[in-house]
């Protein structure tokens, strides 16, 4: 009897605590990330980790992840192809998601939809939608995972900051994805921890800490920032194949230009 | 090409690479010479207000008087629409002067920079 009397309040307290915790999570006042946002800084990941001026299509611009020798050599090879305009980039093929982390490094605009159980990253330039589960679930066990463009993301709120981890990503070696237009690569061992929140200047700041035991010698910490655009700004669909007049030559990687008659007008292949 | 119809403008391209490289981020823009700008005088044939890029089709007479259709690539309709550009911005048959970064191989195409209409109105970047 003594034992029962002693435990009862403890059990009640634990159950009440769990219910209270759940109720807190379910009813937590979520931050206001409504509206439309524009990415700052061009399509490079982080001003602090790049050299050169201009966008990521500009020769001379590169990022500096802490690559090991093998991946640095691969990146240098990609930069050389980029400088010639023949880097094979799946993003140019239309219809293929850029995936994570590149989803935070796109032109056009963004929406960040915060709901009690999920956060959705919706990029106008697409197809690019990323789901982050905040309902308390964990990543699937290893045997139930397979690589995808955006991987599997689960997270939680620390005040107004969303913290999430991402696993199960396509390797850049798969040919399905590149991390950016300069030719950044990650292996199938890549995973990330991301912190998202509004900074003191009112910008949505996304700090990614990317770890990759096969490609990096240390975590690669990069930050993207987004400005909230004028209220009422509209977002449109992005049907990349609607009128794509820039097909890629599979052999050379060259981007052709299609003329008004549907035929290639440039002579670059012969040059 | 007629000098009245097609003029190479040098020295007015400062800052254009940043402008148009971003607009054409869907693909490499290595085919365009961003260090050179052409001035084309012609007639609007079509304005394709489509993704992933808009295309202005302009008919320009060459030196022999032959009409040549130029294909000038601009930003996405989404980007441009938020900046006030509309499908009706270029009316078929309108006389227009266009600045563009030409294709490196001399093909009748380029990256659109800006345009000026007969009434003096301009769109895009016009210096």
Mean pLDDT within A245-269:
82
Q: How far apart are the C-alpha atoms of A80 and A19, rounded to whole Å?
A: 57
ipTM of the complex: 0.80
Phi, psi of A120 (to 5 degrees): -115, 130
CA nearest neighbour of A106 among A136, A65, A149: A149
Q: How far apart are the C-alpha atoms of B33 and A244, rounded to whole Å?
A: 21
User: Hey, what are B34's tokens?
Assistant: 């961003």
Cβ-based neighbours of B88, under 8 Å, separated by 6 or more:
none
User: Hey, what are B30's tokens?
Assistant: 């290595």
Q: How far apart are the C-alpha atoms of B78 and A52, rounded to whole Å?
A: 29
Name the helix (H) or strand (E) containing A23.
Answer: helix A2-27
pLDDT in tens, A10-21: 444 444 444 444
Residue B56 near chain A (CB below 8 Å): no
Q: How far apart are the C-alpha atoms of A67 and A48, rounded to whole Å?
A: 16
Q: What pTM was computed for the model? A: 0.83
Identify the structural domains of chain B with CATH numbers, from first to last: 6-121 (2.40.50.140)
Q: Where are the domains of chain A?
A: 37-228, 246-271
pLDDT at A118 over 50: yes
Q: How far apart are the C-alpha atoms of A186 and A58, rounded to whole Å?
A: 21
Phi, psi of A204 (to 5 degrees): -85, 120
The minimal CB distance from B31 to the residues A85, A91, A260 is found for A85
The minimal CB distance from A255 to the residues B31, B77, B107 is found for B31
pLDDT at A9 over 60: no
Residue B76 near chain A (CB below 8 Å): yes
Q: How far apart are the C-alpha atoms of B93 and B35, rounded to whole Å?
A: 30
The DSSP code sequence of B2-26 is -TTTEEEE-S--TTHHHHHHHHTTT
């Amino acid at each position: 009897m003594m034992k029962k009397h002693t435990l009862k309040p403890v059990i009640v307290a634990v159950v009440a605590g769990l219910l209270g915790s759940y109720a807190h999570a379910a009813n937590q006042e979520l931050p206001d990330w409504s509206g439309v946002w524009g990415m700052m800084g061009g399509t490079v990941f982080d001003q602090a980790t790049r050299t050169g001026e201009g966008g990521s299509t500009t020769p001379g611009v590169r990022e500096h992840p802490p690559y090991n020798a093998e991946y640095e050599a691969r990146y240098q090879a990609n930069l050389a192809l980029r400088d010639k305009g023949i880097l094979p980039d799946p993003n140019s093929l239309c219809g293929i998601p850029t995936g994570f982390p590149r989803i935070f490094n796109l032109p056009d605009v963004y929406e960040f939809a915060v709901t009690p159980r999920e956060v959705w990253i919706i990029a106008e330039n697409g197809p690019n939608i990323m789901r982050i589960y905040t309902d308390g679930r964990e990543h699937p066990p290893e045997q139930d995972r397979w690589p995808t463009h955006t991987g599997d993301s689960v997270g939680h709120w620390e005040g107004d900051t969303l913290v999430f981890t991402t696993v199960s990503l396509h390797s850049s070696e798969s040919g399905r994805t590149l991390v950016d237009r300069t030719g950044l690569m990650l292996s199938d061992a890549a995973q990330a921890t991301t912190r998202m929140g509004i900074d003191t200047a009112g910008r949505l700041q996304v700090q990614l800490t990317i770890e990759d035991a096969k490609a990096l010698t240390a975590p690669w910490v990069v930050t993207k920032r987004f400005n909230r655009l004028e209220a009422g700004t509209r977002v449109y669909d992005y049907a990349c194949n609607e009128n794509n007049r820039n097909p890629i030559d599979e052999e050379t990687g060259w981007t052709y230009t299609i003329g008004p008659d549907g035929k290639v007008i440039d002579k670059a292949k012969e040059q | 090409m007629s000098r009245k119809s097609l003029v190479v403008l040098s020295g007015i391209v400062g800052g254009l690479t940043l402008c148009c490289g971003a607009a054409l981020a869907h693909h490499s823009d290595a085919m365009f010479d961003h260090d050179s700008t052409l001035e084309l005088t012609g007639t609007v044939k079509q304005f394709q207000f489509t993704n992933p890029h808009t295309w202005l089709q302009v008919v320009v007479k060459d030196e022999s008087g032959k009409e040549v259709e130029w294909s000038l690539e601009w930003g996405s309709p989404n980007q441009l629409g938020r900046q006030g550009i509309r499908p009706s911005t270029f009316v078929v048959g309108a006389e227009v002067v266009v600045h563009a970064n030409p294709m490196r191989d001399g093909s009748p195409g380029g990256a659109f920079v800006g345009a000026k209409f007969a009434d003096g109105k301009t769109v895009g970047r016009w210096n």
